[in-house]
Structure 1
Amino acid sequence: MKSATTNRIVSIDILRGLVMIIMALDHTRDFFHNTAMTADPLDPATTTPMLYFTRWITHYCASTFVFLSGLSAYLSSKNKTTNEASSFLLKRGLWLIIVEVTLVTFGLTFNPFYNFIILQVIWAIGFSMVLLGLFVRTSYKVILAIGLLLVFAHNVFDYIALPKTGVTTVITTLLMTTRGAVFPIDKNHVIGAFYAILPWTGLMFLGYSIGPWFKKDFPAERRKKLLLVTGSAAIILFIVLRFTRVYGDPGLWKPGEHSIFSFFDTSKYPPSLQYTCMTIGPSILLLAFFESFQSSLTRVASVYGRVPFFYYILHFYILHTLLVILFYATGHSSAQIFDPRSPFAFRPVNFGYGLPIVYLIWLSVVAVLYLPAKWFNHYKMTHQQWWLSYL
C-alpha cells in the first residue's frame, strides 16, 4: 500500500518499525537484566517461559531487517541507472561498516579506547550491501540464484571439519561460520565477530529478489498471494526440517524434556536455514497482512520503520546513558566502570534487575524515541541533502 504523500510502501515501514521496537527489548535485556551476563536465556535447564520468550521473539529482528534491507535496496534502485545503483550500494555499505566500528561499538561499550570492537548486524548489512552493489551489475536471476544458494546451502559447513588456525580459517569464520569469534589486534584490542557475513548476504539478496512484487504496476492481489504462499512455504519447510532432524541447523532438535524450548531454539549465529525459515516465513506473512490491516498501533510502528538507522543508533546511546545513571544511583563506584568479564562499560556482570523492570525500561525508551523519530522523518521528507540517503 502506497502512502498518499510520500510514495513509501506502508506495509514495509510497519514491519520494519515492529522489528525495530522488538529489537530494543533485546538490547535493554543485555544492559539491564540481572542474568544477561551469566546465563543463556534459551537454555531449557535454567530459563523461564517469559525469559525464553523475551530472547526468542527478538530472533525475528535481524533476519527481517536484513531481508527488508534487500527489498529496500531494490526499490531505491528503480529510478537509478545500474551504475548509479551499484555506486550507491557500494558507498552505503562501506559507510555502514565504518558506522559499526565507530558509532555502534561505542554506543554498546562506552569504551573510548575501543578495546573491544564489535561486528554485528550493521557490519553484516554493510558488507552484504557492498556485495549487492557488485552483483546488481549482473542480473536479477543471478542475484536470486546466489541468494537461494547461500541461504539453503551454507549449513553444509556444519558437516565439514575446518582447520583450526591460519588465514583460511579466519576468512571462513568471518564469511560463513562465526558464532562469536574473537580476533586479537594487539595485546589491548580485540575484534568480536558475531555475524557471519554470507548467510546474511543470502537473506539480503532474497529480499532484493522480491522487490519486483512491490513495483507500482504489479497487481496487489497477485503480490499478496505470492507473499502468502512464500511465507507459508517457509514455515512448512521449517517444521519439516525440524522434525526430520537431518539438515538445516547445527543444534538438532531433541524431543523429550523441555521439547518445546528445544524445538524453537534454532541457530542465529550464523543464521541457519531453519532459523531463516522460522523467522522470515512469519515476517513475509505479516507483509501481506499489513497491506490491508492498519490501525493506530501500526501507524506508530511505521514512524520507527521510516527512520530505522536513526532509531537504531539513538536507542543504544539512550539505553547506555540510562545505564550510567542507574550504575551510579545503585551505589557503584568509578572503579567498577570496567568489569573484565563484561564487554560494556558501567555494566558489571552482577548488575541488573528482574524482567518487569527490563520491560518498563524498554517501553519507556521506545516511547521517548517516538517524537525524535517523527521529527527526523519529517526532516527527511522536507529536505534533499545528499547525506540523508545514507541515514
Structure 2
Amino acid sequence: MMKQLKSNRIESLDILRGIVMILMALDHTRDYFHLGLPNPTNLETTTPILFATRFITHYCAPIFVFLAGSSACLYGSKRTKKDLFKFLFTRGLWLIFLEIFLNNFLWWFDITFGFIQLQVIWAIGCSMVVLSFLIYLPKKAILLIAISLIAGHNLLDGIVMNGDNFTSILWRAMHQSGGFPIGESRFVRFSYPLIPWIGIISLGYCFGAIYKKGFDILVRKKLLLYLGIGSILLFLIIRGINIYGDLVPWVEQKNSIYTIMSFLNVTKYPPSLDYALITLGPALLFLYAIEGVSNKRTKFAITFGRVPLFFYFLHILIIHLASMLAIIATGGSYTDSILNTELFESGRLDALGFSLGVVYIVWVGIILIHYPLCNWYMKYKLKNRDKWWLSYL
C-alpha cells in the first residue's frame, strides 16, 4: 500500500497562494492573447469587464509578496536566526538572478536581452535580502517599519528624478519606477519599485506569527476578521477623501459604473497605500473564511500554492509558446513572438490578439495543462524533503 504523503504547511495560506497564482495566469494570458486591444485601466477606452479582469488580478503580487514574508516567519520558527538569515539572503540573490536571466528570456524570447524588465520576482528577491537583516530587530520594530513604508511612501510621490545618473537610477529602483539605457541596444526597467514591497514582505513576516504552532485558532480568526474589515474600511475612507493614499485621484465619470471603476483604479507601480489596503484586506477576510475548509476545490488550489516558483516560470513559458502557436496559426510569423524594442515600436503587435472571451478560454486550458505538472512536482517535493535545494525552487 502506497504511503500517504502529508505536508506540515499551513493549508489556508497555500489555498490563498494557489488562487492568486491561478488569477495571475489570467493576467499573463491576457498580456499575450489580448495584444493590440485597449489598456484595461484606461477609462477612456476600457470596458467594465476588461477593467474587472485586470482589477481581480491586482490581488496577485501583494498577496504573493505578503505570503513570502509569512513563509519566512514560519520557516524561521524552526531554525536559528543565523539559518533564517542565510536562507533569506541567498534565496533573495537567487531570485534576482532568475529574474534577470531566466524570467526575461521566458517573457521576451530575446536572446540579446535588449529589454530587461525587473518585475515581481526581482521585488521578492530584493525584499528578502533586506528582510534577512531586519529579522534581527524586535518584531514590533519590524512591524513599525513595515507600516511606515506602506502607509508613508506616498509622501514621496512628488519626488521625480530625471537623467541617468546613479542617484536617479537608484530612485527609480526604490520608488519612482522607470528605467535606464545600457549602451545603445539595451534598456533596464524597474517595474516594481522596492520601498513599498519591502514594507509588504515585512508586514507578512510579522503576520506569520499568528500561524505558528500553538497559536489560538479563535484568536487568529478574530484578528483576521477585524484586520480584514478594518483594512477595507480604511481604504474606503482614505480613497473617499481623495487627498492622500494614491498617485492618481479618482474622478467622477460619465456614469456610476465608470465612477466606481475610477474609485477602484488604484496605482500598482509602485503599490499605493490604497492599493495595499484593498488587496490585503480582502485577502485577510478570505483567510478568515477558509480556515479549516477542505474539499476538492481547495485541494486543487493547494496544488498550485505549494509550488509557486515552479508554476510561475512554467506558466510564462507555456503561455508564451501558446501565443507563438496562435500567431503562426493565424498567418503570422513566429518572429512576432520574439518581443523586443524593434517589434514594439513597429506597430505590428497592434494587429494581433483575440477577444476577451478567447482569453478566458485559453486561460482555463493553461490551468488544466499545469495541474498535472504542478501536482507531480508537489509530490516530488514531499517525497524529497531532505534535498535542501528544493527550498530554492
TM-score norm. by structure 1 comes to: 0.94
Q: Distance in 2 between matches of 1:227 and 1:87?
A: 30
Cα shift at 1:333: 2.9
* Cα 1:32–1:342 shift into 2, 3 Å: farther
Q: Indicate the residue corresponding to 2:230 in structure 1.
A: 233
Q: How does 1:92-131 map to 2 (within 5 A)?
A: 92-131=91-130
Which moves more between the two structures, 44-53 or 365-374? 44-53
Q: Which amino acid aligns with 1:305?
A: G
1:189 shift after superposition: 1.0
Post-superposition shift, 1:328?
1.4
Could you tell me how far apart the structure 1 residues matched to 2:253 and 2:54 are?
A: 22
Q: Is 1:31 paired with 2:28?
A: no
Provide closer, same or farther for how the CA distance between residues 313 and 4 of structure 1 changes in structure 2, counting only shifts above 3 A.
Answer: closer
For residues 239-295 of structure 1, what are the alpha-carbon distances to aligned partners after superposition, in whole Å with 9 as ceiling and x for unaligned? 001110111001111124221110100000100000000100000111111103333
CA 327–125 in structure 1, closer or farther in 2 if over 3 Å, else same: same
User: CA–CA distance in 1 between the matches of 2:238 and 2:117?
Assistant: 32
Residue pair 1:342, 1:349 contacting (<8 A) in 2 also: no
The one-letter amino acid of 1:100's match is E
**What's the counterpart of residue 300 of structure 1?**
300
Indicate the residue corresponding to 1:74 in structure 2.
73
CA deviations 1:325-349 (Å, max 9, x no partner) are 112111113564556465699x833
Distance 1:333 1:211, change over 3 A: closer
SS in structure 2 opposite 1:348? helix
Per-residue CA deviation, residues 347-378 of structure 1 (Å, 9 max, x unaligned), is 83321100111111111011110011111010
Q: Which deviates more, 243-252 or 160-169?
A: 160-169
Aligned equivalents of 1:137, 1:171: Cα separation in 2: 25
2:163 pairs with 1:162: no
Q: How does 1:235-314 map to 2 (within 5 A)?
A: 235-257=232-254, 258-314=258-314
Q: How does 1:355-374 map to 2 (within 5 A)?
A: 355-374=356-375
Structure 1: segments with no counterpart, 5+ residues: none
Alpha-carbon distance change, 325 to 256 in structure 1, aligned in 2, over 3 angstroms = closer
For residues 161 and 18 of structure 1, the distance between their equivalents in structure 2, rounded to whole angstroms, comes to 36
Spell out the pairing of 1:84-233 with structure 2 (5 A cutoff): 84-158=83-157, 160-165=158-163, 166-178=165-177, 181-233=178-230
**1:73-112 Cα shifts (integer Å, max 9, x gaps):** 1001111111110011000000000000111111100111
Note the C-alpha offset of 1:216.
1.2
Q: Deviations over 1:276-327 (max 9, x none)?
A: 0010000011111110333321110111001011000100111111112112
Retained in 2: the 8 A contact 1:248–1:273?
A: yes
Residues 93-135 of structure 1: per-residue CA shift (max 9 Å, x gap): 0000000011111110011111111100000000000000111
In structure 2, the CA distance between the partners of 1:212 and 1:336, relative to structure 1 (3 Å rule), is closer
When the two structures are aligned, how many residues end up with a matched partner? 383
Structure 2 counterpart of 1:386: 388
Q: Please state whether the residue corresponding to 1:293 is helix, strand or coil.
A: coil
Q: CA RMSD in A?
A: 1.9
TM-aligned CA distance change 1:78 to 1:4, over 3 Å: farther
Q: 1:245 to 1:65 in 2, by over 3 A?
A: same
Q: Distance in 1 between matches of 2:84 and 2:60?
A: 26
Give the aligned partner of residue 10 of structure 1.
Answer: 11
Does the 8 A contact of 2:35 with 2:349 survive in 1?
no
How far 1:230 sits from its partner (Å)?
0.7
Do the aligned partners of 2:114 and 2:341 also contact (CA within 8 Å) in 1?
Answer: no
Unaligned regions of 5+ residues in structure 2, if any? none
**What SS does the corresponding residue of 2:179 show, helix, strand or coil?**
strand
CA offset digits 1:198-221 (Å, max 9, x no partner): 111100000001111001110000
**Distance in 1 of aligned mates of 2:204 and 2:389:** 24
Tell me how far apart the structure 2 counterparts of residues 336 and 223 of structure 1 sit (CA, whole Å): 51
Distance in 2 between the 1:372 and 1:334 partners?
26
- Once the 2 structures are TM-superposed, how far is the Cα of residue 145 of structure 1 from its aligned partner? 1.2
- CA shift in 2, pair 1:255/1:334, >3 Å: closer
1:63 aligns with 2:65: no
The answer (yes or no) to whether the contact 2:160–2:176 under 8 Å persists in 1 is no
Using structure 2 for the length normalisation, give the TM-score. 0.94
Q: Structure 2: how far apart are the matches of 1:284 and 1:335? A: 44
CA displacement 1:139-162 (0-9 Å, x = unmatched): 21221111011001000012x343
How far apart, in 1, do the equivalents of 2:345 and 2:308 lie?
23
Q: What is the SS of the residue equivalent to 1:249?
A: coil
